[in-house]
Amino acid sequence: MPTEIKKTNSQLDGLFSAGAHFGLIRSRRHPSAKPFIFGTKNKIEIFDLEKTFEALETAKAFIRSIAATGGAVMFVGGKNEAQQVILNGATRVNMPLVAGRWLGGTLTNFPEIRKRITKLEDLTSQKEKGELSKYTKKERLMIDREIERLNKSFSGLLPMKSLPKVLFVIDPKREQIAVAEAHNLHIPVVSLASSDCNMREVEYAIPGNDASIASIKYFVNEIVTSVLEGQADFAAGVKKEI
């Protein structure tokens, strides 16, 4: 028991240090966020970090269970504060990501999206192998521009060979199209959600600061750790079967 309490206190300290407890002004609060609010300081609502911790642990266990079966976790965070953190985190675990504008149909029209990804893979491969030398200078320039355009929109989706098993989203209010597409396909959503978000809108809402880089980085790192643990479980299971 003492070990568990020490671990919990350490986690709470980490959350506090990252500024995860800061919500928004009360007038922006969504009714569903009320149970997670501890109080107010300088007109800013403060999250109850014990409840944030509990929600995070539940979400991490779910994420680990998905990764342990070989399932993909898609990382989504288009706001400026989240983009680089999402890119770094998803890249560490070789998971698909959207760190910018969500393209409508990314999930619900995946067969068409997959064609674009395949085209990007094919053109990139041809360029790396020097197979574009057969084209004229003008044609190579046009192909380079096409690769650049496709990279901008689809490079983060290269690991996505099929639909993800879960979405991890920073700010479900901002990423409402992504959340709606996931729900349309019965894909569960784990999300870091501030006090202006509908906590009931996602399956695993983690109440916390979704607007600061430090806080976002803390939660992304926690989710990445869970993915790594799940991937290790999956690898161990495969090895055992062999």
For every residue of 14-47, DSSP letters joined together read: HHHHTTTTEEEEGGG--GGGGGGEEEEETTEEEE
CATH code, 151: 1.10.287
Count of structural domains, the chain = 2
Q: Which domain holds residue 83?
A: 2-107+163-241
Please check whether residues 11 and 76 belong to one and the same domain: yes
CATH code, 92: 3.40.50.10490
Selection from 7, 30, 10 nearest residue 18 by Cα: 10
Please check whether residues 133 and 171 belong to one and the same domain: no
Please check whether residues 26 and 121 belong to one and the same domain: no
pTM for the whole thing? Answer: 0.91
Please check whether residues 64 and 115 belong to one and the same domain: no
Answer for the pair 78, 97: CB distance below 8 angstroms, yes or no. no
d(CA 5, CA 122): 52
Please check whether residues 98 and 185 belong to one and the same domain: yes
Tell me whether residue 54 is exposed, middle or buried, using C-beta atoms within 10 angstroms of its C-beta: 0 to 12, 13 to 18, 19 or more: middle
d(CA 132, CA 117): 19
d(CA 33, CA 80): 24
Please check whether residues 10 and 121 belong to one and the same domain: no
Per-residue pLDDT for the chain (242 aa), expressed as one digit of tens each? Answer: 444 444 567 788 999 999 999 999 999 999 999 999 999 999 999 999 999 999 999 999 999 999 999 999 999 999 999 999 999 999 999 999 999 999 999 999 999 999 999 999 999 998 888 888 888 889 889 999 999 999 999 999 999 999 999 999 999 999 999 999 999 999 999 999 999 999 999 999 999 999 999 999 999 999 999 999 999 999 998 766 65
pLDDT confidence of residue 10: 79
Please check whether residues 103 and 121 belong to one and the same domain: no
Distance of CA 92 to the CA centre of its chain: 12
